[in-house]
Structure 1
Amino acid sequence: MVAAVDGLRALPAGGRARPPPARAAATFVGPGETKEGGRAGARVSRVGRVDAKAKTRAGWDWLRGPEPWTRRMLAGDLAIGGVVAILGLGVEEVSNASGPRMLAGAAAVIVLTLLRRRLPGGTLVLGSAVISFLPGAFFILPLVGWSAGRRIVGVGRALAAFTLAFTAAIVFSVIDEWSQMRPVLVIVFSTLMFLAMTVMPGLASRYWSQRRTLLRALQERNGQLLRERAMVAGQARLRERQRIAQDMHDSLGHQLALIAVHTGALEVDPKLTGRQREAVGVLRQASVAAMHELREVVGILRDGVEAPAPVEEAQPAARGVAGIAGVVEAARGSGTDVRMTTAGQPRPLVAACDHAAYRIVQEALTNAYKHAPGAPITVELRFEDDSLVVEIANGPSAGPAADGVVSGGQGLTGLRERARLVGGMVHAGPAEGGGFRVAGVLPYGAEPAGVEDVADDFGQQAQAQAQAGARGRGPGGEQPMDWAAVDRELAVRMPSRSGGVAMGCGIAFAAAVLLVIVFGAGVVLLIDSASEAMVDRDAFDAVYVGEAEEAVRGRLPSGENFMTAGAAGKGPTRPVGSECLALLAEDQPSGLGTDRIFRFCFKDGKLVEKQEYEAKQ
């Protein structure tokens, strides 16, 4: 409203509007603008917090590196870093280090432990450099060496990282101890320690990692070859089944069709009697049923599924327990004395067991027709608590078996295999008092064999093919693959935990032996150096000021030793222009960190001063 009034007042006589004064536009701030400014500030604050969280998450992902870093792994790294830091604090305490130096050493250990996965080469070089100034971080060297040997990709990169770390360790050690000992001794001792504490864990870690990678690759290749073998065996099996199906369709299908056609024509012949016409009808029905079964079997062999019968054709009899009565009735119609009994409460079976029971009865009746014509046959079905028992028995043959009986000798074998696949069993053998008996036990709820059984079948077939190939070439003159030899060559296993523990113990033992050798060499060197750096009080008292320098030096050790380096300048002021020899007294004070020094100063070929004082190490 105020802005509108100002605009009206600004109209000149000509009617043209002038812009409102800049002061009014600049100084007026409405209530809505204040709220919007507050909201904008809140939005900026929220965006800033989101950016901070995103940056924190990105930094955490970078710190974890390519390996998954779980809470358990983080807790383990912190525990390892804590233990190494405590050991380092013990080293710093022995060397009388200051509090800030001890804290710096512990912080360096924790940081290097957490970064060793993301920056294995950098932590190796940094850890080798800082131990010269922070002895408390000494025990981090095996850890960063192990991590670098395992995680640095490429031999060249690993060699460069370890070389740079060795150079850093030597250079900084020489710089730190330059004023107190000889550089050659520092280089030798630092080299031995670097080999024992860094190089050896790195080599062991690299060997262990490469071995695991190689074994994992071999295991994957072995699994791939086994899968390919199963596929090849399955394809060969499928091709053979298709060939058998084609032969059955071309030969048996034609013959059964001829039988069905001729029996159908014979059935309507007016010259036949009623009994003969009934027998011919049974033959025609049997031929039609056989054609349906042949079509079903051919479909299973070709595609692995049952082929449905056309609607316009006669449907085949049920292929289960319900169809057993029809099989028995058909046998009676052919003139065979067949009796069927059922005991127990009928229970449903799964499809595979139901079909197996039907096939057992069918095959047993067929064998009785062939080998014991005219003998009475009994079919018994007993529904027990956990299984169905199917028993078919025939008495002694009433006459000789018909000539020209066709028998492949595989019927009972096929029944046993069919029952085994559904978890049952089949027994066949002579019955008491003559005759023959076939009995099958089938569970109610068993399912067909699973993938494991199929894989076993593939393996058995492949082994049989390999054995057959060892005796000669296969079809087509090609040499089959020796799968047994492939299995023996590729029988590799990943290292177990016990093997990894044993390997770790061996590496630790070897490192301990090398450390003992290094410290033993250091002790021997220290003892040898002590003889050149120590003198007893009697020798000190036997020397008088004013004696010739040559005579005094002849009775004293040379003093050229790292144990006395810099000790001559820690005592009282030396005489001007003199050259002093500082030696350690054999009777040292009881407190740690302090040495008793005997100093002899020479000038113009004579001993001009001898002093006894205590100096900090």
Structure 2
Amino acid sequence: MNLSSSKILAGLRAGWTWLAVAEPWSLRGEQQRPAPGRRMGAELTLALVMALLAVLIEWAFDAGPARTAGSGVGAGLVTLLRRRLPVPALIVACLLGTVLPGMALVQMLAGWSAGRRVVGTRRAVVAFSLAYLAGMAALAVHPGAGVPLTPSNAVILTLVYLAMVVMPGLVSRYWTQRKTLLHALQERNAQLLWERRMIAGQARLMERQRIAQDMHDSLGHQLALIAVHTGALEVDPELTGRQREAVGVLRTASVSAMHELREVVGILRDGVEAARPGPADETGRAARGTAGVAELVETARAAGNTVELRTEGEPRPLAAAADHAAYRIVQEALTNAYKHAPGAPIGVALRYEPDSLVVEILSGPPRTPAGDVVSGGQGLTGLRERARLVGGMVHAGAVDGGGFRVAGVLPYGAGESTPLAAAVDDVRWQPPAGLPGDGGPAMDWNAAGRDIMMGELDASMRRGRNSGLGLGCGVAIGALFLVVMAVGAVLWLVVDEFDAGMIDTEEYDRIKVGTAEREVRDRLPEGGTFTTEGLDRKGPPKPDGSECLVLMSSEMTDTLTTEPVFRFCFRDGKLIEKKAYHTER
């Protein structure tokens, strides 16, 4: 018993999985598709709704219990199988829809599904043609809803088939292919944008490498000469102690400058900053952080400047990038004070506030006029950019009395990974997840670059949506025009059918018994339309050996249960009887 139950459950699970077929032409990832359970739940709900609608329609047509139940079961099964077997479901829907009015809505759903899932134009044309022929063959074998297969009825049913089956299939096919194409273009566009960024980034990297090489070859050589000459002067016995101390300061400064130049060249070449050492090393290079501020102050004092360092609050650790920015603010402010206010007293203050570190450098008015100063004008601008990258700010300006003040506010929690170069100029990128060729994070995907690229992608997507909207509107207008034409043709054919099977009372009275059959038929409509179908089997018995023509009356009756008709019976080439009577509708 348990084994049988397991086999049954396994079979049901396999059938469930088989029915949960994926969408065709879809380039979306599996994570973007609805789960099979949710999709099949929606399909079961739709199948139940279509089955109930089919039962209600059959009940409205006074169908028997067997026919009503069969229509409901057929509608449910076709709805469930339309995804996995779109062509057989379409053929069965059209085959049953011709003779069962309850399958009319299922025909539309099957046409929509087949247009969406049948891959290839030729296959789609063959599928819809087979469905049309199956419907016509079923109508020829078993007329549905009392509609015989006459030429005029065939034209009407063809137009109905085009409007109810072919048109939904065309709209569904266009909509699905357009969405698939748009998604493919979006992915292609994103990849092209990423590749363009990589090419531009490589060009910038090559330019940075060229600049780094020039700096290394020119400045490195000059600094090396300064270090060699100052080292030789430092051991010259003819110098005094004061002179030897000044030369030692110059040699230390040149060695530190060579180290910093090497780091800057490395940043320009590789785009990353080298690891920072501890407070000091054997080369005499100062630590590049708040711990190195004291060394900067001592070096300035050794050069003959009056510098005072003041620390307020309890020292707190900063992130490496913010710590380095604090060092650079003090260094640049001291350099500006040396150049623009020689001999002026300088005050350096480090204030550890609850939420940030405040670095303030205040220099007094110059005691001696400054000579020709070589300045690129980029020092303070670089400080502001450096502070901005770590979430801080720098203010610089003159103070009352002729002094100058530089103050920076740096948060404690600034991240270390922020690049020193401008974010939009950084060349380290990687494509968005899901793009072709996504083999791993070969480059950084920084926020600024992502926003720029996605902005361009969104703009291109909007342009694609606008052009697609215009095309879609054109297709919708064309489809609406075809539907209006089909409805108009159907109405015209219906009116023509009524005219071919109806006469008024005056015409009936003018025809006399005994008139030649040819003359009477020339004056009467042809009959034999769906409006007169079945009327010859009702009413009084026909004269023996006669052939009768039954037509509807143009007059309306007071009740909805009876229909006034006129019957003309012929024998031996003459009209032998004409009779007016009422039949049940």
CA distance in 2: counterparts of 1:552 and 1:610, whole angstroms: 11
Higher RCO by CA contacts (8 Å cutoff, separation 6 or greater)? 2
Structure 1 residues 533 and 186: CA distance shift in structure 2, 3 A: closer
Q: 2:571: which partner in 1?
A: 603
Contact 2:20 2:40 in 1 (8 A): no
What is residue 469 of structure 1 aligned with on the other side? Answer: none
Aligned residue identity for 1:240: E
SS of residue matched to 2:67: helix
Q: Secondary structure at the match of 1:562?
A: coil
Paired residues of 1:142 and 1:198 also in contact (CA < 8 A): yes
Query: Which range moved further: 493-502 or 156-165?
Result: 493-502
- Corresponding residue for residue 14 of structure 1: none
Residue number in structure 2 paired with 1:60: 16
Q: Distance in 2 between matches of 1:73 and 1:437?
A: 68
Give how far 1:485 is off. Answer: 13
Quote the offset at 1:334 in angstroms: 0.8
In structure 1, what residue type is equivalent to 2:135? A
Q: Residues 57 and 101 of structure 2 are in contact (CA less than 8 Å); yes or no, is this contact kept in structure 1? A: yes
Q: Indicate if the aligned counterparts of 2:513 and 2:577 stay in contact, CA closer than 8 A.
A: yes
Letter in 1 for 2:72: A
Contact 1:581 1:599 (8 Å CA) reproduced = yes
- Residue pairs, 1:341-490, within 5 angstroms: 341-403=310-372, 405-448=373-416, 456-458=424-426
Shift of 1:563: 1.5
Q: Is 1:168 equivalent to 2:168 in the alignment?
A: no
Which runs of structure 2 are paired with 1:256-271 in the superposition (5 Å)? Answer: 256-271=223-238
**Who is 1:332 aligned against?**
301
For residue 129 of structure 1, report the CA deviation from its aligned partner: 1.8
Letter in 1 for 2:17: D
- For structure 2, the 5+ residue unaligned runs are 24-33, 430-451
Q: Distance in 2 between matches of 1:114 and 1:494?
A: 36
- Point out the more displaced range, 267-276 or 600-609: 600-609
Matched, 1:138 2:104: yes
One-letter code aligned to 2:255: V
Separation in structure 1 between the aligned mates of residue 507 and residue 565 of structure 2, nearest angstrom: 13
Within the candidate set 152, 156, 169, 1:185 is matched to 152
Asked if the contact 2:78/2:89 (under 8 Å) is kept, the reply is: yes
Contact preservation (8 Å) 1:422, 1:449: no
| Residue type at the aligned position of 1:267 | E
State the secondary structure of the residue aligned to 2:238. Answer: coil
Read off the aligned partner of 2:128 and give its amino acid letter: F
**Cα offset for 1:286?**
2.0
Alignment of 1:61-76 (within 5 A): 61-67=17-23, 70-76=36-42
Instruction: Between 373-382 and 413-422, report the one with greater CA deviation.
Output: 373-382
In the superposition, the TM-score normalised over structure 1's length comes to: 0.77
| 1:294 has 2:261 as partner | yes
SS in 1 for 2:407: strand
Other structure's SS at 1:276 match? helix
Per-residue CA deviation, residues 513-562 of structure 1 (Å, 9 max, x unaligned), is 76565455444444444344345678768878767656766776543433
Taking a change above 3 Å as real, the CA distance of residues 107 and 69 of structure 1, as seen in their structure-2 partners, is farther
**Which residue of the partner structure matches residue 22 of structure 1?**
none
Q: Is the 8 A contact 2:343 2:368 kept in 1?
A: yes
C-alpha separation between the residues in 1 aligned to 2:247 and 2:458?
Answer: 63
Compare 579-588 and 186-195 and name the one that shifted more. 579-588
Preserved CA contact (<8 Å) 1:215 1:492: no
Q: d(CA) in 1 for partners of 2:341 and 2:121?
A: 82
360-369 or 387-396: bigger deviation: 387-396
Q: 1:421: Cα distance to partner?
A: 0.7
Q: 1:455/1:116 Cα in 2 relative to 1: closer, same or farther (>3 Å)? A: farther
| Aligned residues between the structures | 549
C-alpha change, 1:221 and 1:512, in structure 2 (3 Å) is closer
- Computing the radius of gyration over CA atoms, which structure comes out larger, 1 or 2? 1
CA contact (8 A) 1:201 1:507 kept: no
Q: Sort the Cα spacing of 1:382 and 1:450 in 2 relative to 1 into closer, same or farther, 3 A.
A: closer
Partner Cα distance (1:283, 1:129) in 2: 100
Q: Which amino acid aligns with 2:246?
A: A
Task: Give how far 1:496 is off.
Answer: 11
Residue 351 of structure 1: CA displacement?
0.8
**Which residue of the partner structure matches residue 8 of structure 1?**
none
1:477-503 superposed Cα distances (whole Å, 9 cap, x missing partner): xxxxxxx99997994327999999999
User: What is the DSSP-based 3-state SS (H/G/I as helix, E as strand, rest coil) of the residue aligned with 1:132?
Assistant: helix
Matched-pair contact (CA < 8 Å) for 1:174–1:183: no
Please report how far the alpha carbon of residue 590 of structure 1 lies from its aligned counterpart in structure 2 after TM superposition: 3.4
RMSD between superposed Cα atoms in Å? 4.0
2:471 and 2:507 map into 1 onto residues whose CA distance is: 55
Alpha-carbon offset, residue 457 of structure 1: 3.1
- Please, which moves more after superposition, 341-350 or 495-504? 495-504
* Aligned with residue 104 of structure 1, among 70, 76, 79: 70
Amino acid in structure 1 at the alignment position of 2:295:
G
Q: 2:202 & 2:511 partners in 1: Cα distance?
A: 103
Q: Which amino acid in 1 is paired with 2:14?
A: A
Mean Cα displacement is larger for which, 602-611 or 412-421? 602-611
The DSSP-based 3-state class of the residue aligned with 1:117 is coil
Alignment partners' CA distance in 2, 1:196 and 1:75 = 30
**How far apart, in 2, do the equivalents of 1:454 and 1:563 lie?**
82
- Contact 2:90 2:114 (C-alpha < 8 Å) held by counterparts: yes
One-letter identity of the residue aligned with 1:325 = A
Q: Distance in 1 between matches of 2:326 and 2:124?
A: 70
CA contact (8 A) 1:296 1:307 kept: no
User: Comparing 506-515 with 70-79, which one deviates more in the overlay?
Assistant: 506-515
* Distance (whole Å) between structure 2 residues aligned to residue 152 and residue 422 of structure 1: 57
CA contact 1:260–1:288 (8 Å) conserved in 2: yes
Give CA-to-partner distance per residue, 1:298-342, whole Å, 9 cap, x none. Answer: 333334241677999435222111211111111111111112223
Contact 2:20 2:36 in 1 (8 A): no
| Match in the other structure for 2:449 | none
Match for 2:132: what amino acid?
F
- Residues of 2 paired with 1:172 and 1:240: CA distance? 77
Percent of residue pairs identical: 55
Aligned match for 2:218, one of 247, 251, 258 = 251
3-state SS in 1 of match to 2:402? coil
Question: 1:30 — aligned with what?
Answer: none
Amino acid at match of 2:138: F
| More divergent stretch after superposition (162-171 vs 103-112) | 162-171
> What is the CA–CA distance in structure 1 between the aligned matches of 2:246 and 2:147, rounded to whole Å?
122
